[in-house]
Amino acid sequence: MPSTPVQEAARRGAQVPVAVAVVAVSLLLGMASLTSAGLLSLALAAAVVVVAWGWAGALALPTPRGTVGTITVGGLALVAAVGLPAEGPWLSWVPAALSLAMLAAFTHQLLRRDGRPRVVTSVSAVVLALGIVACGILMVPLSRTDEGVALVVGSLAAASASALTDMAGRWAAMATWLTPLALLAGGAAAVATALVMDVPWTTWLLLGVAGAALSHAMRGIVAPLPAMSRPRPRLVAALTSVLVVGVVPYLTALVFLPDALPL
């Protein structure tokens, strides 16, 4: 359905509330990671519930109630897979949880009684949501080591910084500069985090640029949606653009800082 002029104006004004929400979510997850892996898992579980609550409305999916249940069950299973084990390997239950989530997504479609319109769109959207959650849960194992926590905090700082640069998009002259501005701000935020936490800044520069790029891209994907004129989809946009960054510190640790990964 095409947007009305009122929706277009409201959507263009979404940068500020989305940016504020990104900063708030990043701050919450960052503080949780500094406290304990268990608290971070609880924060991620809350994020899963909120994403599930708003996902169908943000993407205008045909079966909102079934979508909420599927994403909630699958997402919480993924969080439990990394949050409940008392010892490593910390990701050993993730494939099983992801398989359960995929089965729930397809079972939901089999149980539909509306003729299954837009079935491919519905399945793809649910799988995308679960994939974003899977990226977010990768922060939990890292929160069990000091270097890992620094990586998580650095990536969250980069996501926040890149979101703040989105507000420059309110001026037409800055529209073409938003991506490089986001990368620059993300790299600077991650380097500042590294200096504060007394870790080598070079790896954190790469972490910040990559995290900012991923977060900025996620917001860019959902920004054109007509639903962005409403508060709930804006909150979903903020949450997903933070959760998706979780894969960056994990891959950075895997390639450059294996000591940041818990045994």
**Do residues 141 and 250 lie in contact, with contact meaning Cβ atoms separated by under 8 Å?**
yes
Q: Quickly tell me which residue has 């390639």 as its tokens.
A: 255
Report pLDDT digits (tens) over 135-152: 999 999 999 999 999 999
State the residue range of the domain holding 244: 5-260
77-110 confidence digits (pLDDT tens): 999 999 999 887 899 999 999 998 889 888 888 8
Looking at per-residue pLDDT, the higher value among 207 and 5 belongs to: 207
pLDDT at 7: 47
- State pLDDT tens for residues 23-75: 999 999 999 999 999 999 999 999 999 999 999 999 999 888 889 999 999 99
pLDDT at 208: 98
Q: Please check the confidence at residue 5 and state whether its pLDDT lies above 80.
A: no
Q: Is the pLDDT of residue 127 over 80?
A: yes
pTM of the model: 0.92
Task: Give burial (CB, 10 Å; 0-12/13-18/19+) of 86.
Answer: exposed
251: CB partners within 8 A, 6+ apart? none
Mean pLDDT of 159-168: 94
Total domains, the chain? 1
* Alpha helices per DSSP H over 84-200: 94-110, 119-137, 139-142, 146-166, 178-196
Tell me if residue 60 falls in helix, strand or coil.
coil
Peptide bond into 89 cis (omega under 30): yes
Angstrom distance (rounded) from CA 263 to CA 150: 17
pLDDT at 251: 97
Phi-psi region at 225: left, alpha or beta (left = phi > 0; alpha = psi -120 to 50): beta
* Mean pLDDT score of the chain: 91
Q: Rounded CA gap, 16 and 13, in Å?
A: 7
Segment 202-212 shows an average pLDDT of: 97
Range in 1-15, 21-35, 51-65, 217-231 with the lowest mean pLDDT: 1-15
pLDDT at 1: 46
